Amino acid sequence: MKDLYQKLETYFQFEKSDSVFITLFKSILLLTCGGFFGLILRELNSHPVEINWFHILFFLFGISTFIYIEYRRLKKEKNFPVSILEHLNASEELKELRGKHNRKTKLYDYIDNSIQSLNSNTCPVTFEEDNFLCHQDLEQGLRSVLYDLIERPNYILNIDDTNFTVGTFVKEILDKQSKVGQLDTTQKIFLFRDDLQIGEFLPENPYELNSQFEASFQFQTALLEGLGFNKFICKEFSIGEIKYSLICSPIPNVCENCPPEGIIFCIYKNCEKCSVDIDSVLLIFGRILSNWISRYNDCVRNEKKMKLSDNHTHKKVEIPKEVTELLEKQKSN
């Protein structure tokens, strides 16, 4: 490595010596030699023929000097340390591979954290009523599963930015406030992070196109496209003069053949190309979130069944003692 840097330093030191003044000198020398060459030709074509050795010697000296300067330039180019470029390319490739490996390791850790959060929410140690999954705050539960995506979107999305808007749209989740004997569903956009302060431009429900903002319509269109075609979306949209990038990733249904449960979305400024692996990464987060939603709905459903059972428990009919004795006498007769 040290030898390569020494070669590179030697090359650039030589480069400094070939200054602008030398370039100008070569130009003037070439023009002067051309003038003397024309003068020599005129003298040779004159009658009588004139031979001026001073002109000839000056012309030969000028041409020799020009050839020497060009020789030094060509020698410099020939001696350019190509091995340094090869080494730098190899170092850059190694750095890129290390970066990808480190990012992949971190992503595995984040996904593992989400799975642990899912398990801690859905597998309580005890079966007390307070540990029921559906007894916790819905938004807080969703946030805990997507914690690393919410807190570290720049790393997961591989974007050099610090301001993001992150949220999710859940298409169908059971309402735990439903009356006993019935199960109502609700759909809602949960906004977990809004550094960009664009929450007012995002609709409460993508199925209701009643906003006056064009940005809201663009956002709704992207969400509906992701839901309708079950595909990853990475596109540009604008709010006024500011351009943003919008990423929408479907939340797959626990039943593979069913439509998506919703959408995970991330918004950031500028229009950078999405990372090649981000669709797969967000799909994993979507599957974990889908599992959590499914268990949440099961919890609400089971709880409502329990309450319904409690309200409709038929107590055993108590028969008076006298009637019992009379029935026994009738049987004995």
What per-residue confidence (pLDDT) applies to 217? 86
Cβ proximity of 103 and 158 under 8 Å = yes
Largest interatomic CA distance in the chain? 172
In a domain, 333, yes or no: no
Among candidate residues 216, 332, 173, 194, the one with its CA nearest the CA of residue 267? 194
| Position 157 in a domain | yes
Task: Classify residue 13 as left (phi > 0), alpha (psi -120 to 50) or beta.
Answer: alpha
Shared-domain flag, residues 73 and 199: no
Q: What does the block give as tokens for 307?
A: 């309450």
Could you tell me if 139 and 284 lie in one domain?
yes
Identify whether residues 178 and 265 lie together within a single domain.
yes
What was the pLDDT predicted at 4?
A: 58
Q: Which of 126, 140, 14 is nearest to 81 (CA)?
A: 14
State the DSSP H helix or E strand holding residue 267, giving kind and residue range, or none if neither: strand 262-269
CA–CA dist 299, 132 (Å, integer): 7
pLDDT of residue 313: 43
Residue 238 lies in a domain: yes
Domain count across the chain: 2
Q: Is residue 316 part of a domain?
A: no
Same domain (yes/no): 61, 141: no
What is the structure's pLDDT at 324? 58
Last residue of a domain, one of 45, 80, 115: 80
Q: Supply the DSSP string of 161-219, one letter for each residue.
A: -S--EEEEEEEEEE-TTPPTT---EEEEEEEEEETT--GGGS-S-TT----S-HHHHHH
Say if residue 62 is in the same domain as residue 115: no
- The rounded distance, in Å, linking the Cα atoms of 220 and 213 is 11
Residues 25 and 164 both lie in one domain:
no
Q: Quote the pLDDT of residue 112.
A: 66
Same domain assignment for residues 210 and 288: yes
What's the order of all strands across the beta sheet hosting 242-251? 185-194, 165-174, 262-269, 242-251, 233-239
The tens-digit pLDDT sequence of the chain (333 residues) is 556 566 666 655 555 555 666 777 777 877 888 887 787 787 777 777 777 788 788 888 888 888 887 777 777 666 555 556 666 666 677 676 676 667 677 766 767 666 666 655 555 433 445 546 777 788 888 898 888 889 888 888 888 888 999 999 998 888 887 776 678 888 889 999 999 999 888 887 888 777 777 888 888 889 989 988 899 999 988 888 889 999 999 998 887 778 888 999 999 988 767 878 888 888 888 888 988 888 888 888 887 776 655 554 444 445 455 545 655 665 565
Tell me, what CATH number does 222's domain have? 3.30.450.40
Tell me, what's the pLDDT at 250?
A: 92
Residue 86 resides in a domain: no
Q: Which has the closest alpha carbon to 196: 125, 235, 245, 236?
A: 245
**Residue 330 within a domain:** no
Cα distances (Å, whole numbers) of residue 188 to 45, 259, 319: 98, 17, 53
pLDDT at res. 72: 75
**62 and 143 inside one domain:** no
Shared-domain flag, residues 105 and 73: no
Shared domain for 285 and 179, answered yes or no, is yes
> Per the structure block, which two tokens stand in for 223?
């969400």
* 143 lies in some domain: yes
Residue 303 region by backbone torsions, left for phi larger than 0, else alpha for psi between -120 and 50, else beta: alpha
Domain that holds residue 51: 2-80
Let me know whether 289 and 199 are in one domain. Answer: yes
Asked if 189 and 72 sit in the same domain, the reply is no
Specify if 331 maps to a domain: no
In this prediction, residue 314 carries a pLDDT of 42
| Other CB atoms within 10 A of residue 289 CB | 25
